């Protein structure tokens, strides 16, 4: 099977309220926050997994599109 690159995938985040946080976590043995971006209602961020970013945490109500489909954060 072909080896998939560990980076280069994109996700789309659309904020459904003010103050949604998009937090980038570092790749490698030390997993920590390295960047936090605040989105207001209706704002869209297109974010990529990179050599520096292995995980993306979203806090608040948002619509998130990935290659696996669509998911909504912040709703119980």
60 interacts with ligand TRP by CB under 6 A:
no
* Residue with the CB atom nearest ligand TRP in the bound state: 24
* 53: nearest Cα among 36, 40, 67, 66: 36
Binding piece for ligand TRP, criterion CB under 6 A, among 12-20, 50-58, 65-73: 50-58
31 interacts with ligand TRP by CB under 6 A:
no
Angstrom distance (rounded) from CA 29 to CA 51? 13
- A 10 A CB-CB count for 29 gives 5
Angstrom distance (rounded) from CA 13 to CA 73? 10
> Closest separation between CB of residue 18 and ligand TRP, Å?
19
6 interacts with ligand TRP by CB under 6 A:
no
């Amino acid at each position: 099977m072909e080896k998939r690159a560990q980076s280069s995938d994109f996700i789309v985040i659309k904020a459904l309220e003010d103050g949604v946080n998009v937090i980038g976590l570092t790749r490698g043995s030390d997993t920590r926050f390295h960047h936090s971006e605040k989105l207001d209602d209706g704002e869209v961020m297109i974010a990529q997994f990179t050599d520096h970013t292995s995980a993306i945490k979203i806090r608040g109500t948002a619509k998130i599109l990935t290659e696996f489909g669509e998911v909504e954060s912040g709703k119980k």
